[in-house]
């Protein structure tokens, strides 16, 4: 799985992608994350990448050609056209289901916007899908792009340690994760639930599922509805 990220701030992408689980998956060669600096593809002698909006109004707009040139450089040696995502609050809200679907692709390009956005014509020309990470506005598309990389990568085989981790975790079947405990047994006057010390695997599994269901119902009734529906449909995410 390869991610090519078109950005004005490659340092943000590299700083994240070289650490922790994503960094480990990169070292193992399971995923590739490249940050392409749009500024390197500016045709202007001052390396300009933005300009004033037509029709006035505040802010600056990212120009078509630096982005287009960066994209052409990315696809130069590709046999197949990659899937191109633009991160924007105008997009469809990102979900775990979409992460799982996108994890089946082998090449994703993510365009990160800045300032007042990008010239509409580059969206028309290269973008396949617009994604928002939530109903709030950020200063740029880099954090959303990294959220996509993180959520998609962990659904790629081999990125997490075992399939089990993936399956038991939050949201995988529309359920939140059950409560976790580690040593010491007692801390700040609070003890670990006895069942977890029983060594009875089947009972522990049952208790964890009950806890997940209870939590989801209390904290995220919207997800709980989806869970009930998925059960009724015999669906397995
Ligand atoms: N760029 C700025 N805000 C964003 C958001 N909420 N989602 C995706 N991209 C964005």
pLDDT, one tens digit per residue, over 35-75 is: 999 999 999 999 999 999 999 888 999 999 999 999 999 99
Task: Name the percent of the chain lying above pLDDT 70.
Answer: 95
The structural domain count of the chain equals 2
pLDDT mean over 76-102:
96
CA distances from 237 to 12, 99, 167, 173, 198 (A): 32, 12, 10, 6, 31
**pLDDT at 106 exceeding the cut of 90:** yes
Identify whether the C-beta of residue 167 lies closer than 8 Å to the C-beta of residue 199.
Answer: no
pTM exceeds cut of 0.85? yes
Confidence (pLDDT) at 167: 59
| pLDDT (0 to 100) of residue 237 | 54
pLDDT value at 163 more than 70? no
Do 208 and 106 lie in one domain? The reply is no
Output the ligand 1 site: residues, CB below 6 A.
87-89, 132-134, 136-138, 141, 144
Ligand 1 mean position, distance from CA 141 (Å):
6
Q: What are 33's strand-pairing partners?
A: 3
- Angle of the 221-232 helix axis to the 201-219 helix axis, nearest 10: 120
Q: Tell me the two tokens of residue 225.
A: 């509805």
β 107-112/83-93 pair status:
parallel
CATH, residue 183: 1.10.1270.20
Task: Report yes or no on 237 lying in a domain.
Answer: no
Residue 158 maps to a domain: no
Claim to verify: residue 198 and residue 119 sit in the same structural domain: no
Residue range(s) defining the domain that contains residue 205: 168-232
Tokens representing residue 125 in the block: 């020309």
Pocket test for ligand 1, best of 98, 111, 118, 132 (most atoms within 8 A of CB): 132
Q: Which residue's C-alpha comes closest to atom 2 of ligand 1?
A: 138
Judge if 122 and 177 occupy the same domain: no
């Amino acid at each position: 799985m390869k991610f090519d990220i078109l950005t004005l701030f490659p340092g943000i992408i590299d700083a994240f992608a070289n650490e922790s689980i994503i960094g480990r998956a990169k070292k193992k060669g399971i995923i590739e994350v490249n940050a392409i600096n749009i500024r390197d593809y500016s045709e202007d002698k001052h390396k300009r990448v933005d300009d004033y909006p037509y029709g006035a109004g505040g802010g600056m707009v990212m120009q078509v050609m630096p982005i287009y040139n960066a994209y052409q450089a990315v696809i130069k040696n590709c046999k197949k056209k990659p899937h191109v995502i633009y991160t924007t609050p105008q997009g469809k809200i990102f979900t775990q289901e979409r992460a799982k679907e996108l994890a089946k692709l082998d090449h994703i390009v993510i365009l990160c916007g800045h300032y007042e956005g990008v010239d509409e014509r580059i969206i028309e020309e290269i973008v396949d899908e617009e994604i928002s990470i939530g109903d709030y506005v950020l200063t740029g598309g880099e954090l959303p792009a990294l959220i996509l990389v993180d959520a998609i990568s962990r659904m790629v085989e081999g990125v997490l340690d075992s399939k089990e981790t993936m399956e038991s975790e939050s949201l995988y079947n529309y359920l939140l994760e059950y409560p976790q405990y580690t040593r010491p047994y007692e801390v700040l006057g609070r003890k670990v639930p006895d069942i977890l010390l029983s060594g009875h695997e089947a009972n522990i599994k049952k208790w964890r599922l009950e806890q997940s269901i209870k939590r989801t119902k209390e904290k995220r009734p919207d997800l709980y509805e989806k869970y009930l529906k998925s059960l009724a449909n015999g669906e397995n995410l």
